[in-house]
Amino acid sequence: MSETVGASRTIKVLVVWATMLAVLTPAWIAPAKMVSTPVTIARSISGGGSGGRTLAFRPTHIAFSWRGTEGSRLRYRILQTTAGPSHWRMVPESHDMATGNRHFSAVIAVDRPQAIRWAAASQSAVEEVTIDYLDTVGGPRQLVTMPAAAQAEARTPDIVTRAEWGADESVKRTTGWCRRRFFPVQQLFVHHTAGVNADPHPAATMRAIYWFHTVRRGWCDIGYNFVISPDGRVFEGRWARTYRPWETPDAENLSGDVVMGAHVADHNGGSVGISMMGNYSNARAPDPMRTSLVRMLAWEADRHNLSPRAHHVYRSPVSSLAERLPVLAGHRDGGYTECPGNFLYGALPGIRRAVALVIGQGKPNSKLALGSDSARIDFGSTSLFSGRLRTATGAALTGRPVVVFRRLGRGAFKRIKSVSTGAEGRFSIRVSPPRTATFGAVFEGGRSAWGSESDKVKLAVAPLVTLAPEGAKSDPNGVYHYPPGTASVRLTGAVEPARAASSASVEIVEKLPDGGFAPAAVVSVGVGQGGGYTYDFEVPDPAAGRLFRATGGVGKSEIRASGFSDPVWFQIDPQP
């Protein structure tokens, strides 16, 4: 396995059977929150082909790497004060991680040993052994932000996010040669992690695998797109992007292309790697794990128009590689490895049949459009948003629920209303946000069509701004008159809503006898908590008698459009 790419092709969405629910069904948005997760503590020891060491702390996981020819093997035993030494065990090799003559083991969960011994277990020479031992449970705690997320009534699959399993995002790399690459999905691969079975702490093991893949092996991120634990939970693997609250972390960009992982050398582009936590060379995968695998594979195959029982030619999008493979393949189909273990690999024909049954006859993708009758409104006004829900081929989807979300400024998206599509799949909603907002619509999907979401639509909201001179009356033409010699004119105004801005501008120009204008004042004044503002204009040469025009305004920001008052005219009357 290496950080290389494989092939791609156009995606279409087909069906999921009644037991396979479509996409995330948003019911409400839970706000972002802080959770405490342990920092992974890691140490390494090195030695020759055999040896033993006392450990600096009692680890939860260990992993080996060594230099040797093909077929070189290691064995190990752990020592504990109370139980004594364990039996000698073979180090399970992770063939997909090998590079040159450097071999890597699987990540092995252990029961807090105090010491470890290792020895060569083959005729081939073993050299330069490195043992990484990790504590992914007892380290110092760190606060991690859990992004806002939609709480779902029903969804398939239910995926444990990276934040939930405690991924330290500072470890991964996404720049330079680690820049994320996305390709249309054309291939599904099944793996096993080759670690211990019946792992009681899968989240801790996820943190250990993540560390070993990125730090020791030097990959950009965890190699797999998803990992399934023995109890059937699905864990998000390689990071693809930041998801919006209603989205399932599907390892894809907004176009539906999958992020390139590192799970099958030369076949990573356009393939989805799903790994089963444990070693299934001599053991059957537990039923909950197998059920989740079938559902995950059906979810992927159905959305990307893949036939799970077919063979095809995998074509790399970045090289000349073209190889005939099962669409739903085991790792060993694409590389020299025992993965995903003899028992799991032998179960793949039955898994393919089960996936095909879950998919059934197929259902179409949907397309959701949303638009507004205006890009900008004044505060207190309304805008009509309308949309249309159709299949990818243009057939109207009527009587379907569509949920509309709103985000004020840079805040989180929140559900504001659920509407039902009418004739020709159309729907509408009238909105009056207090400040600039972004809107989006989501169709959750159902038995007759896959879910979809609209593009986001921004609606700018301009505050209402007023300005008027004090202490004077206006004539029929709307000009405010002040007696000759007036040296100062107070202008007062208001901004609504009251907290739309902390400052306002006042611009005053003088009308010249030739009909032109000359600037008299441009100032910024504070806006009070109630929205009011005041400016005292010092009249130049009050005895001359002059005509002025004043305008108040509030500039554009992330939470508002710019807003301006109507211009007001005032005159210092000339001496009689």
Question: How do residues 520-538 score in pLDDT, each as one tens digit?
Answer: 999 999 999 999 999 999 9
In the chain, % of residues over pLDDT 70: 91
Return the CATH number at 527. Answer: 2.60.40.3930
DSSP helix/strand/coil, 44: strand
Q: Residue 315 is encoded by which pair of tokens?
A: 């074509």
Instruction: Please tell me whether residues 377 and 262 are part of one structural domain.
Output: no
Listed in sequence order, the residues at least 6 apart from 394 whose beta carbon sits closer than 8 Å to its beta carbon are none
Q: What is the pLDDT of residue 114?
A: 94
Range of 301's domain? 26-34+143-359
Q: How far apart are CA 382 and CA 379, in angstroms?
A: 8
230 lies in the same domain as 93: no
Q: Which of these three, 462, 491, 513, is where a domain ends?
A: 462
pLDDT digits (tens, 9 = 90+) for 234-248: 999 999 999 887 788
Do residues 42 and 216 lie in contact, with contact meaning Cβ atoms separated by under 8 Å?
Answer: no
pLDDT(24) > 90: no
Top-ranked range on mean pLDDT: pick from 95-99, 110-114, 383-387, 572-576: 383-387
pLDDT for position 341: 94
Determine the pLDDT at residue 302.
Answer: 87
Average pLDDT over residues 478-490: 94
Mean pLDDT across the chain, nearest whole number? 89
15 part of a folded domain: no
pLDDT of residue 280: 96
Q: Which two tokens stand for residue 107?
A: 């990540």
Same domain? For 47 and 116 the reply is yes
Could you tell me the pLDDT band of residue 30, with boundaries at 50, 70 and 90? very low
Specify the pTM. Answer: 0.71
Residue 435 pLDDT > 90, yes or no? yes
Read off the tokens for 154.
């029903």
Q: Which of 483, 472, 479, 474 is nearest to 572 (CA)?
A: 483
Banded model confidence at residue 446, pLDDT cuts 50, 70, 90: confident
User: Does the residue 488 lie in any domain?
Assistant: yes
- Whether 157 has a pLDDT exceeding 90, the answer reads no
- Domain of 185, CATH number, reads 3.40.80.10
- The dihedral built from the CA positions of residue 528, 532, 536 and 537, taken in this order, carries a sign that is positive
Q: How many CB atoms are located within 10 Å of the residue 53 CB? A: 14
Two tokens, residue 223 = 């190699």
Residue 463 preceded by cis peptide, ω within 30: no
pLDDT in tens, 207-237: 999 999 999 999 999 999 999 999 999 999 9
Final residue before a domain boundary, out of 415, 447, 462 = 462
Using one digit for the tens of pLDDT, what is the confidence trace for 548-572? 999 999 999 989 999 999 999 999 9
Residues 310 and 374 in one domain: no
The answer on 455 and 529 residing in a single domain is no
Task: Report pLDDT digits (tens) over 305-360.
Answer: 899 999 999 999 988 899 999 999 999 999 888 999 999 999 999 999 999 988 87
Residue 185 has pLDDT above 50, yes or no: yes
219 phi/psi in degrees, rounded to 5: -75, 165
Does residue 12 belong to any structural domain of this protein? no
Collapsed DSSP state (helix, strand, coil) of residue 464: strand
Distance CA 450, CA 465 (A): 46
Which of 95-99, 180-184, 253-257 is least confident?
95-99
Q: Which of 462, 479, 513 is the last residue of a domain?
A: 462
Give the total number of structural domains in the chain.
4
Say if residue 205 is in the same domain as residue 327: yes
Average pLDDT over residues 181-191: 97
Identify the pLDDT of residue 364.
78
> Rounded to 10 degrees, what is the CA torsion of 468, 473, 478, 480?
-70
Q: For residues 385-398, give the mean pLDDT.
A: 94
